[in-house]
Chain A
Amino acid sequence: MSTLNPAGHLVGTPGHETGHETGHETGHDTGHAGHHDIGFVKKYVFSTDHKIIGIQFLMTTLLMLFVGGTLALGVRWQLAFPWREMPVVGKMLFSAQGGAISPEFYTMLFTMHATVMIFLVIIPILAGAFGNFLIPLQVGADDMAFPTLNMLSYWFMWPAIAFFMSSFFVEGGAAAAGWTSYPTLSANPPAAPGSGLGQTLWLMGVTFVGVSSMMGSVNYMTTIINMRAPGMTLFRMPMTIWAMFITAILQAFALPVLTAAGFMLLFERTIGMSFFTPGGLVINNAPMTVGGGQALLWQHLFWFYSHPAVYIMILPAMGMVSDMISCFARKPLFGYRPMVYSIAAIAGLGFIVWGHHMFTSGMNPALGMTFMVSTIMIALPSAVKTFNWLGTLWGGNIQFTVPMLNAIGFVAMFVVGGLSGIFMAAVPVDIHIHDTYFIVAHFHYVLFGATVFGVFGAIHFWFPKMFGRMMSESVGKVHFALSFIGFNCTFFPMHMLGVAGFPRRLADPYNYPYLEHLLPLNQFITYSALLMGFAQLLLAGNFVYSIFKGQKVGRNPWNANGLEWTAPSPPGHGNFDILPVVYRGPYEYSSPLVEEDFLPQTKFLAHEDRHADPYGPHSH
């Protein structure tokens, strides 16, 4: 179904040929008119339309979520039933030894679980899927600033996926030095089976993912700075956009360091350079002849990127959660400017805390003190944001829709993750809990409990805009409830494991007598993880089914305020059939100026009280 917009350009819904109108242009050629048939491949495969690219990212990352989750279930199996036959994999790969996995396979499982989740799921789903889909729509642009670059940013993911997946099948197997890939374990092939070709493939994969992210980051910054609709001042942008913008800046500044470090490690492994390996070592009975490097150098370079990376992995979700909470509390966002400044503070402080991953590493203890202070202070803007979310909910008319349930889950679990972070920010305490399951609990609470639940909410919230149909609310609620229960039962006990001194990355922790009594708790965790894993099938089923059979809806099924809800569902090529002009911020819910409990950004009011918006251009 296609319509003519006021400029005379044909605006069609994706998926429908506009072939009948070929050759009939009534207006100027902006290059966005869907009047000529660009063919299936250019429309859906190598699309330069940000919406298609966003959906491509979404589908790919959801697929990778299942891959990464399966790898984690392998880890959990071993920890609950050590050296028993592992289902599926045991029979396939280790039938000679009765199906029990090998210790080196265990190291590959957790390495690739983290690698897939971080580089192929979280980072691309936030920036690549939602950033791509939402940024032009929420700022009122017809597409990204660089559509071809955008297309490349998606397709660069696939070589990375190929590198990571193929690494399991090469001699020696996949990289096995942890996703942190510390030398000298990762730098020297004799050190571990996975430190052969598998590690090189891992580095190639990370490089491609990095290039993909850089391309995206350039696009997002440019689009947000340059292509906002008339009236969309910076402080009228939704929090999603602020978060995506600041995240893009983080990516741009931090990624080059990881890429450089990756190349240094690659050169060390392939052409004999020695950035990270000192002289005088004997690794696996093979004396190392080169030297002059320092193992700690990698750690500094790696964490200089990877700490900002963890904020890259949560800030967009924070922005999206702000949008969802405001919408479903039917209330303006509490403290819009403090919220913006807090995101900026988290990002800025995020650059000067990387050493907190290295408190026991042997670096100068004075650095331990400085990093402790900066790390503890980063809890402050996080706390401010949490209070502002509560302030948004307070006094609201709360609707327990699926996005809202997930958003409230985000807030609650972010509180847990943030508070547990304080323990490890305190250096003396970190001495005990570093490299234990306390750390694992912390980052899963912020990355999964917060970010992924935020993503669950975002999927349900923006699905109608993507596909013109609703996902099932009831299946969504069951999915949320089971995921929430499964998640908390899996990861909350890990705090206690950490206090008990239960180290990470051990194929058989029960080798140590002081840990033997923790086996039942680990089994409970594994059962909960299985529940949580299988609950995700509900999401996948709901998603796929609803694309075809979901209830059809119009432009604004949620009665929300953002610009994206003025476009058709789904928007055609070019996005807006009526060019948006913005008159106010995105959170004017329950405004006294109108009878409805929402007031879209683009709605013109003849007699608007300009002082009603304290943060608007006419505020005092």
Chain B
Amino acid sequence: MNRFWFFFYSFAGVAAVVSFAVAPAMGWWFPSPGYSLSPLGAQIDDLFYLILVITSVTFVGVMGVLGYILWKYGSGQRQRGEFSHGSHALEVIWSIIPAAILLFIALYQMDVWARYRVKSLFDKDAIEHPIAEVTARQFEWRIRYPAPGKTLQDTPQYDDLYTVNDLHAPVGKPVVIRLRSEDVLHSFYLPHLRVKQDAVPGLVIPVWFQCEKVGQFELVCAELCGWGHYKMRGQLSAQQTEDFNKYLEELSKSQFDDGVPVAKADQ
């Protein structure tokens, strides 16, 4: 009967490892295509896998020890336990080694975090020419582009272009959006690019990202914002730069062109 519990706990440990191993094949893993569509996102994924390897080794090791213990010392055949209060040497070893591994994990990623968030490290061109201001509100994403050829201003300009829920951006280069909120906390989450930033009422936060693939990718609200939090769905439409510029031209035309040609100064 005592061996039963060894098998019980062992099965759980094995099932845990197996389920993680088959997860990618079952589709229970990073969003399709399974790798990040942004270069910084790819670095995040690398860090994730590094931590996964370290934690998996630790998990298997610890569960292995526990299994050995349950098998050898749970047989019910022993008379007494060993009368030991501890081991100074072991305490030192299993304090120093985990500390070193943990410090390594912490320091190894400072660089990625800095490039994600520290404004002075953002691409100069991108931060000086944000492609849009994205304002989150209950329950939609309002996007304000500057007129083609102009720079986005802090305050709305008469020739700014407005859309809802559909953020276009050029591929292959870093772009910046200015993220705001009109009412409550929201969060700008692009799962395929591994981008997430809370939209805070009262703050304007520059968020940069770089999409490497043309296509449409979900924009998810990732901070509870009320009853409609689940339907605050937007999309990122990543296009080639020429297509992006063409999109803005067409947007401008559809917003301002009333069929009457603009009078020239000398007419």
A contact residues around B189 at 8 Å (CB):
435, 501, 503
Instruction: Out of A281, A293, A507, A513, name the residue touching B183 (CB < 8 Å).
Output: A281
Q: How far is the CB of A287 from chain B (nearest CB, A)?
A: 10
A290 at the interface (CB under 8 A from B): no
B231 at the interface (CB under 8 A from A): yes
Is A107 a contact partner of B226 (Cβ separation < 8 A)? yes
Instruction: Out of A182, A380, A591, name the residue touching B185 (CB < 8 Å).
Output: A182
B contact residues around A281 at 8 Å (CB):
181-183, 201-202
Q: How far is the CA of A394 from the CA of B81 in the complex (A)?
A: 9
Interface string of A586-613 (1 = CB under 8 A from B): 0101111000010000000000000001
Is A505 a contact partner of B106 (Cβ separation < 8 A)? no
Query: For window 55-91 of chain B, which residues contact chain A by CB distance below 8 Å?
Result: 55, 58-59, 62-63, 65-66, 69-70, 73-74, 76, 78-87, 90-91
Is A329 a contact partner of B81 (Cβ separation < 8 A)? yes
Q: How far is the CB of B117 from chain A (nearest CB, A)?
A: 4
Q: How far is the CA of A361 from the CA of B80 in the complex (A)?
A: 54
Is A365 a contact partner of B118 (Cβ separation < 8 A)? yes
Interface string of A377-400 (1 = CB under 8 A from B): 101100110111011011111111
Interface string of A186-210 (1 = CB under 8 A from B): 0010011100000000000000000
Q: How far is the CA of A360 from the CA of B196 in the complex (A)?
A: 7
A521 at the interface (CB under 8 A from B): yes
A contact residues around B185 at 8 Å (CB):
182, 184-185, 295
Is B91 a contact partner of A507 (Cβ separation < 8 A)? no
Q: How far is the CB of B89 from chain A (nearest CB, A)?
A: 11
Q: How far is the CB of B255 from chain A (nearest CB, A)?
A: 22
Q: How far is the CA of A432 from the CA of B221 in the complex (A)?
A: 13
Q: How far is the CA of A282 from the CA of B189 in the complex (A)?
A: 23
A87 at the interface (CB under 8 A from B): no
Known interface pairs A104-B227, A426-B47; A391-B86 also in contact (CB < 8 Å): yes
Is A397 a contact partner of B48 (Cβ separation < 8 A)? no
Please give the number of chain A residues whose Cβ is less than 8 angstroms from any Cβ of chain B in the complex.
Answer: 118
Is B200 a contact partner of A390 (Cβ separation < 8 A)? no
A506 at the interface (CB under 8 A from B): yes
Interface string of B1-36 (1 = CB under 8 A from A): 110010011001101100110010001111110000
Q: How far is the CA of A38 from the CA of B229 in the complex (A)?
A: 56
B113 at the interface (CB under 8 A from A): yes
B contact residues around A185 at 8 Å (CB):
184-185, 224-226
Q: How far is the CB of A90 from chain B (nearest CB, A)?
A: 17
Q: How far is the CB of B16 from chain A (nearest CB, A)?
A: 6
Q: How far is the CA of A484 from the CA of B58 in the complex (A)?
A: 21
A332 at the interface (CB under 8 A from B): yes
Is B109 a contact partner of A191 (Cβ separation < 8 A)? no
Is A435 a contact partner of B187 (Cβ separation < 8 A)? yes
Known interface pairs A336-B85, A394-B73; A419-B59 also in contact (CB < 8 Å): yes
Q: How far is the CA of A509 from the CA of B102 in the complex (A)?
A: 34
Is A428 a contact partner of B83 (Cβ separation < 8 A)? no
The stretch that binds A, out of B92-100, B169-177, B258-266, is B92-100
Q: How far is the CB of A244 from chain B (nearest CB, A)?
A: 22
Known interface pairs A338-B86, A397-B73; A511-B2 also in contact (CB < 8 Å): no
Is B98 a contact partner of A503 (Cβ separation < 8 A)? no
B contact residues around A387 at 8 Å (CB):
90, 94
B112 at the interface (CB under 8 A from A): yes
Q: How far is the CA of A521 from the CA of B198 in the complex (A)?
A: 28
Q: How far is the CB of B61 from chain A (nearest CB, A)?
A: 10
Residue of A nearest to B81 (CB): A331
Is A505 a contact partner of B224 (Cβ separation < 8 A)? yes
Is B224 a contact partner of A103 (Cβ separation < 8 A)? no
Q: How far is the CA of A192 from the CA of B182 in the complex (A)?
A: 15
A264 at the interface (CB under 8 A from B): no
B contact residues around A419 at 8 Å (CB):
55, 58-59
Please give the number of chain B residues whose Cβ is less than 8 angstroms from any Cβ of chain A in the complex.
Answer: 102
Interface string of A505-518 (1 = CB under 8 A from B): 11111011110011
A contact residues around B78 at 8 Å (CB):
396-397
Is A365 a contact partner of B117 (Cβ separation < 8 A)? yes
Q: How far is the CA of A185 from the CA of B155 in the complex (A)?
A: 25
Instruction: Out of A278, A334, A360, A391, name the residue touching B187 (CB < 8 Å).
Output: A360
Is A503 a contact partner of B183 (Cβ separation < 8 A)? no
Is A508 a contact partner of B98 (Cβ separation < 8 A)? no
A contact residues around B80 at 8 Å (CB):
330, 397, 590, 597
B contact residues around A428 at 8 Å (CB):
43-44, 47, 109, 112-113, 116
Interface string of B209-240 (1 = CB under 8 A from A): 00000000010111111111111010000000
Q: How far is the CB of A468 from chain B (nearest CB, A)?
A: 28
Residue of B nearest to A588 (CB): B83
Q: How far is the CA of A382 from the CA of B185 in the complex (A)?
A: 33
Is B105 a contact partner of A416 (Cβ separation < 8 A)? no
B contact residues around A416 at 8 Å (CB):
16, 59
Is A331 a contact partner of B59 (Cβ separation < 8 A)? no
Is A427 a contact partner of B109 (Cβ separation < 8 A)? yes
Q: How far is the CB of B97 from chain A (nearest CB, A)?
A: 9
Q: How far is the CB of A409 from chain B (nearest CB, A)?
A: 8
A residues apposed to B, CB below 8 Å: 102-104, 107, 176-178, 182-185, 188, 191-193, 277-284, 293-296, 329-336, 338, 360-362, 365, 368-369, 372-373, 376-377, 379-380, 383-384, 386-388, 390-391, 393-400, 405, 408, 411-412, 415-416, 419-420, 422-423, 425-429, 431-432, 434-436, 481, 484-485, 488, 492-493, 495-497, 499-501, 503-509, 511-514, 517-518, 521, 587, 589-592, 597, 613-615
Counting from the closest, the 8 A-B pairs by CB-CB distance are A278-B202, A331-B81, A501-B191, A395-B82, A365-B117, A104-B227, A496-B28, A335-B86
Jot down 21 A-B pairs with beta carbons below 8 A, ordered by A: A191-B226, A280-B202, A369-B113, A377-B102, A379-B102, A394-B65, A394-B73, A398-B2, A400-B5, A412-B9, A415-B62, A428-B47, A428-B112, A431-B116, A431-B195, A432-B48, A432-B191, A481-B8, A493-B28, A500-B29, A590-B81
B residues apposed to A, CB below 8 Å: 1-2, 5, 8-9, 12-13, 15-16, 19-20, 23, 27-32, 41, 43-44, 47-48, 51-52, 54-55, 58-59, 62-63, 65-66, 69-70, 73-74, 76, 78-87, 90-91, 94-95, 98-99, 102-103, 105-107, 109-110, 112-114, 116-118, 137-138, 181-185, 187, 189, 191-192, 194-198, 200-203, 205, 218, 220-231, 233
Task: Give me 14 other A-B pairs in contact (C-beta within 8 A), A384-B95, A411-B66, A514-B31 excluded.
Answer: A278-B202, A280-B202, A293-B202, A333-B85, A338-B86, A369-B110, A386-B62, A395-B73, A397-B79, A496-B23, A500-B30, A508-B230, A591-B83, A597-B79
